């Protein structure tokens, strides 16, 4: 809309552009950190320790007077000696308090926000598992195989991939290959090695139909975990398999 003289008429209020966010914020004054933040990383520890040291300085000063009397220090040295004891005691409390508080802070921080240095991060595969649940098994297997290719020494990935092959009865030979690989990984936990051997026995007694290899895997369990319950069951299974092989070769006794 324009005036009669041709000049544009200002838009009504509802058409005016809103003010920029910067214009709504009052100018900031220069930020000056409090005293507690001028001590670097010990921002809240230092002032607390300092207050403790100051509070204990008079106490150590009184102790200094008593020590001066016990040690028979000349009178003109009594006050300097007591002041020195107070300052020394206060500084000692200051540094000890800072050390204790800093150590406690690191401990609490490690508990509240672990860095992963002591507790390794466990990878999640819920998206891939969801594909299998939806019946998209081939896609899930392809995704797991990609993970195995990207991290060939990741025992958890290998176990999950082999389990998925076995669960859906897909390519048992590939599942066995993956499970055997676990024993070649130096950092593989013993429980994963035992699990892999058990799963290999299942494969050799099942779809792969190789009782000879099953016997080998049972012997691996017995040799690597001799005092375990798994070894006890492996001995029983080994004896049974040997009887079956003997009967197949020579007939029942």
> Does pLDDT of 147 surpass 90?
yes
CATH number of 126-250: 1.25.40.10
15 pLDDT tier (thresholds 50, 70, 90): very low
Q: Can you give the pLDDT at residue 23?
A: 42
Work out the average pLDDT over 33-55.
Answer: 55
Q: Domain locations in the chain?
A: 41-110, 126-250
> Does pLDDT of 106 surpass 70?
no
What's the predicted TM-score (pTM) here?
0.52
Q: What tens digit of pLDDT does each residue of 53-91 get?
A: 677 778 776 786 677 777 777 767 777 877 887 788 777
- Residue-averaged pLDDT of the chain: 77
> By percentage, how much of the chain surpasses pLDDT 70?
66
How far apart (Å, rounded) are the C-alpha atoms in residues 159 and 191? Answer: 12
How far apart (Å, rounded) are the C-alpha atoms in residues 175 and 167? Answer: 10
User: Which are the contacts of 59, defined by CB distance < 8 A and separation ≥ 6?
Assistant: 86, 89
Q: What tens digit of pLDDT does each residue of 191-242 get?
A: 999 999 999 999 999 999 999 999 999 999 999 999 999 999 999 999 999 9
Residues facing 2 on adjacent strands: 8
Q: Can you give the pLDDT at residue 41?
A: 47
Work out the average pLDDT over 107-130.
Answer: 62
How far is the first Cα of the chain from the last one, in angstroms, to the nearest whole number? 112
> Which two structure tokens, joined as six digits, stand for 71?
């040690």
Query: What is the 3-class SS of the chain, one letter each residue?
Result: CECCCCCECCCCHHHCCCCCHHHHCCCCCCCCCCHHHCCHHHCCHHHHHHHHHHHHHHHHHHHHHHHHHHCCCCHHHHHHHHHHHHHHHHHHHHHHHHHHHHHHHHHHHHHHCCCCCCCCCCCCCHHHHHHHHCCCHHHHHHHHHHHHHHCCCCHHHHHHHHHHHHHCCCCHHHHHHHHHHHCCCCCCCHHHHHHHHHHHHHHHHCCCCCHHHHHHHHHHHHHHCCCCHHHHHHHHHHHHHHHHHHHHHHCCC
Which helix (H) or strand (E) segment holds residue 79: the answer is helix 75-112
More confident residue, 132 or 38: 132
> Which two structure tokens, joined as six digits, stand for 87?
């300052």
């Amino acid at each position: 809309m324009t005036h009669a003289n041709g000049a544009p008429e200002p838009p009504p209020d509802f058409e005016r552009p809103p003010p920029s966010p910067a214009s709504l914020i009052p100018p900031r004054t220069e930020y000056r950190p409090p005293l507690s933040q001028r001590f670097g990383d010990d921002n809240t520890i230092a002032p607390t320790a300092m207050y403790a040291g100051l509070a204990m300085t008079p106490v150590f000063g009184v102790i200094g007077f008593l020590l001066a009397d016990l040690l028979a220090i000349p009178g003109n040295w009594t006050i300097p000696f007591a002041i020195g004891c107070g300052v020394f005691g206060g500084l000692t409390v200051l540094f000890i308090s800072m050390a204790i508080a800093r150590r406690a802070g690191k401990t609490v921080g490690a508990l509240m926000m672990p860095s992963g240095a002591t507790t390794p991060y466990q990878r999640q595969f819920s998206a891939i598992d969801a594909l299998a649940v939806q019946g998209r098994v081939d896609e899930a297997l392809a995704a797991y195989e990609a993970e195995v290719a990207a991290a060939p020494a990741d025992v958890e990935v290998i176990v999950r991939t082999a389990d998925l092959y076995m669960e859906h009865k897909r390519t048992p030979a590939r599942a066995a290959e993956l499970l055997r690989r676990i024993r070649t990984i130096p950092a593989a936990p013993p429980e994963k090695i035992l699990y892999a051997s058990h799963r290999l026995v299942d494969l050799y007694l099942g779809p792969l139909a190789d009782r000879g290899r099953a016997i080998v895997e049972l012997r691996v369990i017995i040799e690597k975990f001799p005092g375990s319950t798994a070894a006890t069951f492996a001995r029983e299974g080994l004896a049974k398999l040997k009887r079956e092989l003997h009967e197949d070769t020579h007939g029942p006794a």
